[in-house]
Structure 1
């Protein structure tokens, strides 16, 4: 594929993908295209396979069928090529993944020191810029234990963008955050996507906090994609499954129990 064609291709494309874990099919018939420069919300109830989908994007899980392309190329199987691709994917984990014995600045510097040969003074300047981007320049010398939940999530976000990846993936970014911190994170995701020209995929079950900043919405349930379109189209849908998910109703097409419930006489 030429450079021009690669730039025109979606940032992520899945075609006819089936994903298995432990001999069990988690997702099947997955067709998805994520436009470059967009924010796509991948929504679904807990256990619906959202994290499994993420594992396919980062190459942790090879598809049992179909193809997965990221940044214009098939996700490679060989370790060296896979590591090269992963440098272009920033991942914000729901648990932050900060190293407790390193300061905020040292955590952000880690990928720069691991994957580049930049001099110390350049890395220090880049770290300062990333902290500024998430509004935490004053927190450079604080350790993770000294940070609030929202601050720790922002430090993790600064680390995720340290290598200026063109693709950002957020795995349940609002887990454990209060409404104010959640709003701050969502605003940062939107601002960084626009300012840095990123493509962002937000995997979450926090519907109402995420849809306002999303360009596209994808809903996963019952092992497949049940909706793909704009947030407005999702909100306007009268599909019973989508209404159940959006309203948080316990009964409906999305089963709450893992096994069929016995008939009650």
Structure 2
């Protein structure tokens, strides 16, 4: 029996922003049911890669396939494709004047014609999945940072997307809340049969739940393999990133924006 096609396939991808190349010759295959961690220092192009997956940024060269199809260019086809993506944004994006339940219900009210009673039941199911059913009638301002992140996760899951994309899911969270969120990512991935791509610079919190790790630096992918192999790598670039060393192959500041030469 042939293996199912990958849920994401990227081949020889080049991505440009503002007239400069951010990423080049990117090749990545994401198997269905897996959790792939896309790691790298701030400003390395992780969010640019995410923008290519969601269709926000068209490829300058190469191909991007998501859910078995090339990412479309037309707005209508793009909106249809995005219904199969759950995206957890850095800032949560919760509407402060709506309750938790109303926030989670937004995708269902926007994209379906389900009756209100059924939407309410589905919302409570999603909140139960993230451990927050009791907070359904609370407002975002009444929640901790970790709770708000879990509400945003419940909303991202509202339409039962087969593919989840997490954009820096641990930003602003304390170590305990970070552990809760990452444990939840693993559990939901397994119990709901999802595939997850976690875009982050939080290495040590993410690797324990990942099946595959990718490191982006210096305009390309510098590592792709098992998390154990990443941690065992002796590559100076990888060691610099994992150990948080200021000096090494990864420059602290990008010189791509400097139009004038450095003074001698």
Q: Following the alignment from structure 1 to structure 2, what is the Cα–Cα distance between the partners of residues 258 and 191? A: 37
TM-score normalized by structure 2? 0.96
Q: What is aligned with 1:21? A: 17
Q: Among 95, 111, 121, which residue is 2:107 paired with? A: 111
Q: Following the alignment from structure 2 to structure 1, what is the Cα–Cα distance between the partners of residues 108 and 181? A: 23
Q: What is aligned with 2:173? A: 177
How many corresponding residue pairs?
259
Q: What is aligned with 1:63? A: 59
Q: What is aligned with 2:258? A: none
Q: 1:6-155 counterparts in 2 under 5 A?
A: 8-155=4-151
SS in 2 for 1:145: helix
SS in 2 for 1:66: strand
Q: Following the alignment from structure 1 to structure 2, what is the Cα–Cα distance between the partners of residues 127 and 138? A: 12
SS in 1 for 2:199: strand
**What is the CA deviation profile of residues 82-118 of structure 1, one whole-angstrom value per residue up to 9, with x for unaligned ones?**
1110000000001000011100000000000000011
Q: What is aligned with 1:163? A: 159
1:250 and 2:222 equivalent?
Answer: no
1:232 and 2:235 equivalent?
Answer: no
Q: Following the alignment from structure 1 to structure 2, what is the Cα–Cα distance between the partners of residues 261 and 109? A: 53
Q: Which runs of 4+ in 1 moved over 3 A?
A: 259-263
For structure 2, the residue ranges without an aligned partner over 5 or more in a row are 256-260
Q: What is aligned with 1:217? A: 213
- Compute the RMSD of aligned alpha carbons: 1.4
Q: Following the alignment from structure 1 to structure 2, what is the Cα–Cα distance between the partners of residues 99 and 232? A: 40
**What is the CA deviation profile of residues 152-195 of structure 1, one whole-angstrom value per residue up to 9, with x for unaligned ones?**
00000000000000000000000000000000000100000000
SS in 2 for 1:218: strand
SS in 2 for 1:82: helix
TM-score normalized by structure 1? 0.95
SS in 2 for 1:156: helix
**What is the CA deviation profile of residues 121-156 of structure 1, one whole-angstrom value per residue up to 9, with x for unaligned ones?**
110000000000000011001111111100000000
